Structures are given as C-alpha cells and as structure tokens.
C-alpha cells in the first residue's frame, strides 16, 4: 500500500495539474470522504450552530451594554463576561472538531481511500489519533508563528507610526503599511503549507526539525505553492459565498433586528427566529466544512509534486557528480 500511495502521490505535476487532479480526486471520492468524517463534521456543525446563534441573538445586547458601561464608567455586566466565556469555549471546541474532520480526510488520503476505518455497532467512523494529533500540532504551530510575526512586525510598526487608541484617528498611511505587513506575513507563512502537510503525512518526522530543514524548500517553490493556494482559496470563497448565502442574509437581518431592539426599535422578527437561525447555521456549517476540505486534496498533490521535484533534483546532482568523478579517472 505504501508503494501504491507513493506511486500515485509522488509525481511531478504543474500547479494546474495539482489543482485539476486534486479536485478530481475530491469529487471522485466525495462519498468516501463523507463516510470517514461525517461524525466529526456533524459535531462541528452543532458547535457552529450554537456559536452563530449566540453571536446573532446575544452579542448585540452584550455590545450595547458594554457601550453603556463605558459611557458611565461602570463595571462590565456579568452576563457579558459569561457570554464572552461561552463564545471562547465554543470557538475552541469547534476548532478541535474541525481539525478532527480534516485529520479524518488526511488519513484517508494517506491510504488513497483504500479503506474506511469504522468501529462500533452502528459503524461510526473512527478517528486516526496519530493524524489528529499531528494535524492539531501543525495547526497550533502555524497559529503561533502568525502571532509571533504579528508581535514582531505589526505591533512595533503601529507604535512607530504613532497609532492612537481611537480607531477613527488611524491614518491612511498607517492602514496601508499595516496591510502590506499583513500580506508579508502571509507570504512568510505560505511555505509552511508544504512543511505542515509533510509533517502530517510522514509520521517519522518532527515538526520543528522539518521547519529548520524544509522551510527553505517551501521558499524555493514559493510561486508553485502560491498559485495552488490562491486558486483553492478563490474556489472555497466563491462556493461558500453561494452556498452559505441564506445563512449570511439571515445573520445580517437577525443582527440588525437585535441591535435595533436595544435602541428602542421593535424586533420585527418572529419569536422562533433563534430556532430557525440554529437550523440554518447548522446546515451552513456542515456545507462549509466540506467545501474547505477540498483544499486538502490540492495541497496533498502539491506536497507530492514538490517532494518528487526535489528527489529528481537530488538524483540529477548525484548523477552529475558521479559522471565528473568517472571523467577524472585515468
């Protein structure tokens, strides 16, 4: 199976071929993808539903109460702190379920969808713990790198530019500089897409050692990674925008209605709107996670292509050295 996987994955492809074959593999194996990950995706959707419903139903009240406390210099309301804690907890739990869903798909990618691991009386899909842990570590490491770069680059720049506390006083020059710095940070993090996928797939590696040795490989193939990543992001954004449009409209209407209530306007929404919102957000969350999963397939072939190109380059150098040594013999 390892040889079969290597034969399919390790192939030098262009960026367009990685995108085409990646999405082809995604559509061809969509049922197997869902079979291996529907449980964690379902749990993620439940958390997403709860989080979005809280944000649209209770966050407006919390915001208006916070604004009132600032105006009167009084303490923050207790319910605002509770809502903030619940939102933070749901974000963390939802993130874990999302990472678990991705790890289920990556585990199947490593097996080339040859088998679906299922356990239990009702044939529930099993979680590959090794892949989940490595996906979690890679995700946390990328987040830490982004945070460190933000602290090193953006915050000092804001201080040097004299950014004031009021958002209305931020100059256009400051916004342009910070926007360019954010783009630079994204570019610096982009080679980690190759490093992260290699770390997740090859279980005999350590992340920080890979960063030290293979980050420069990602930089070498920066344009290749950029094309695949940008196209994947465009496809995801367009698909999510179209398929999640009902949820976006409901969010906007619900949020504006709740904000208006706390400024003295009538609600203008039915009393069961929160239940409708929860159902819509649940469906939208389930759809969105499987849209985002498609990027794993293009990244998978991107990683294999870079590895194969590097292997071919090493063999070419070795053959050149051997030929030079032979030519030096008397």
Say if CB 39 and CB 124 are below 8 A apart. Answer: yes
Among 19, 88, 7, smallest CA distance to 54 is for 88
Q: Which residues contact 62 (CB under 8 A, 6 or more apart)?
A: 77, 79, 80, 83, 84
Q: Does the pLDDT value for residue 133 go beyond 90?
A: yes
SS3 247: helix
Report the run of H or E that residue 125 belongs to, with start and end. Answer: strand 124-125
Largest CA distance in the chain: 97
Neighbouring CB atoms inside 10 A of 253's CB total 15
Assigned token pair, 315: 């063999």
Burial class (CB within 10 angstroms; exposed 0-12, middle 13-18, buried 19+) of 36: buried
DSSP state of 114: S
Of the ranges 81-90, 106-115, 292-301, which is most confident? 292-301
Q: What is the pLDDT of residue 4?
A: 41
Average pLDDT, the chain: 80
- Point out the least confidently predicted range of 157-171, 255-269, 308-322: 157-171
Among 28-32, 87-91, 165-169, the least confident range: 165-169
Residue 150 host element (H or E): none
Alpha-carbon span 70 to 65, nearest angstrom: 9
C-alpha torsion 12→18→24→30, nearest 10? 110
């Amino acid at each position: 199976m390892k040889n079969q996987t290597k034969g399919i994955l390790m192939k030098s492809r262009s960026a367009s071929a990685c995108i085409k074959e990646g999405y082809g593999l995604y559509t061809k194996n969509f049922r197997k993808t869902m079979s291996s990950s529907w449980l964690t995706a379902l749990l993620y959707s439940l958390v997403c539903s709860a989080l979005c419903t809280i944000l649209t139903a209770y966050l407006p009240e919390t915001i208006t109460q916070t604004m009132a406390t600032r105006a009167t210099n009084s303490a923050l309301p207790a319910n605002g702190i509770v809502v903030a804690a619940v939102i933070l907890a749901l974000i963390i739990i939802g993130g874990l379920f999302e990472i678990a869903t991705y790890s289920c798909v990556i585990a199947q990618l490593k097996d080339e969808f040859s088998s679906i691991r299922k356990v239990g009386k009702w044939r529930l899909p099993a979680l590959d713990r090794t892949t989940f842990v490595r996906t979690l570590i890679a995700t946390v490491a990328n987040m830490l790198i982004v945070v460190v770069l933000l602290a090193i680059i953006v915050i000092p720049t804001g201080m040097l530019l004299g950014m004031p506390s009021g958002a209305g006083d931020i100059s256009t020059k400051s916004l342009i500089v910070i926007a360019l710095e954010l783009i630079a940070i994204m570019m610096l993090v982009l080679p980690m897409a190759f490093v992260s996928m290699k770390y997740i797939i090859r279980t005999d590696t350590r992340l920080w050692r890979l960063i030290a040795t293979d980050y420069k490989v990602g930089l070498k193939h920066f344009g290749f990674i950029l094309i695949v990543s940008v196209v994947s992001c465009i496809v995801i954004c367009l698909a999510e925008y179209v398929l999640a449009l009902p949820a976006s409209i409901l969010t906007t209407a619900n949020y504006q209605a709740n904000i208006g209530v706390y400024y003295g306007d009538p609600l203008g929404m039915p009393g069961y709107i929160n239940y409708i919102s929860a159902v819509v957000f649940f469906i939208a969350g389930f759809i969105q996670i499987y849209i985002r999963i498609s990027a794993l397939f293009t990244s998978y072939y991107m990683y294999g292509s870079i590895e194969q190109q590097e292997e071919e380059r090493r063999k070419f150098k070795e053959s050149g050295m051997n030929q030079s040594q032979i030519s030096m013999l008397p």
